[in-house]
Amino acid sequence: MSAVLFDVPGPKARTRYVYLNVATVVVVVGIIGFILFRFYESGQFTAQKWEVFTFPLVQETFLKAIGSTLSAFAVGAVGSLVLGILLAFGRLAGSRWLSLPCYWFTEVFRAVPLLILMMIMYYGLPSAGVKGITPFIAVVVGLILYNGSVLAEVFRAGIESLPKGQGEAGLAIGLTNGQVLRSILLPQAVRAMLPVIISQLVVIMKDTALGFLITYNEILYYASVLGSQGDFGFPVVPALMVAAVVYVGLCLILSGVAKLVESKMSSRVKVVKTKIGMAG
């Protein structure tokens, strides 16, 4: 089958692929080297610019900023998953009175940029008389509305990609439409769409950085504060490099946890299939 779908490359093609890979690596290494060289020439690696990170108070405040980022991510991720499931169920409902509002809600908030949603929450609602909107609330609500709408389409596509016979069999044994969605279709859709869900969770993690524009004290906001310290030569680039490393680390940890969950789910499915095969 593999020979039919994909021709095995010959010696010349393999040699060409090796040359292309080597050239790509050389170009990428060259670009990274040029950027680092320019940073070095401009004094971005001098001790003065990095000295600010040696103070315990700065380290403690940076840890608090990481905690603020994780708090916004945790609430935003859970809220987005819940909203996405509810909207997906609404889109798949038999009643147009429910499916049509869910459709328009999903389409509208999926099309509005996340930064605009945050600014509407933080600057627009207070001007309309709504009080008590903190930067944290604005960031979290924006994350939930936008990413929940995106995840709603992910769940809907995953559920609709399953064989229709499974839903029909559930209805035939007396289950309601909601029970079929919750008990039969959704668990399978989550397993099938888990890589996309993980990618969207990583997006939520990175989108918390937009909170610095509405003064939410997260990683990027505090990095910009450190970069404005004139006593240390305005270490903008070092502060952003540290923030970038922290974001990469957090996203790698999130991806690792998600892959662990995926492997656990796959192993459970294999065990169930094995038991069913033995029973049969």
CATH code (residue 141) = 1.10.3720.10
Quote the number of domains for the chain: 1
For each of the chain's 280 residues, which pLDDT tens digit applies?
445 555 677 777 788 888 899 999 999 999 999 988 888 888 888 888 888 888 999 899 999 999 999 999 999 999 999 999 899 888 887 778 888 999 999 999 999 999 999 999 999 988 888 888 999 999 999 999 999 999 998 888 887 777 777 666 776 777 776 677 777 777 777 777 778 888 888 899 999 999 999 989 999 999 998 888 888 888 888 899 999 999 999 988 888 887 787 777 666 555 444 544 454 5
76-95: b (≥16 Cβ within 10 Å) or e? bbebbbebbbebbbbbbbee
HSE-up (13 A, CA, CB side) for residue 108:
9
Contacts for 103 with CB less than 8 Å, ≥ 6 apart = 91
d(C-alpha 27, C-alpha 30), whole Å: 5
Q: Is residue 238 assigned to a domain?
A: no
What SS3 class is residue 171? Answer: helix
Q: Is residue 137 assigned to a domain?
A: yes
Q: Is residue 89 assigned to a domain?
A: yes
- Exposed/middle/buried for residue 214 (C-beta within 10 Å: 0-12, 13-18, 19+): buried
Q: Is residue 23 assigned to a domain?
A: no
Q: Is residue 16 assigned to a domain?
A: no
Instruction: Give the CA-trace dihedral at 160, 166, 171, 173, to 10 degrees.
Output: -170
Q: Is residue 36 assigned to a domain?
A: no
The pTM of this model reads: 0.79
Q: Is residue 10 assigned to a domain?
A: no
Q: Which domain, by its residues, includes 174?
A: 58-216
Q: Is residue 251 assigned to a domain?
A: no
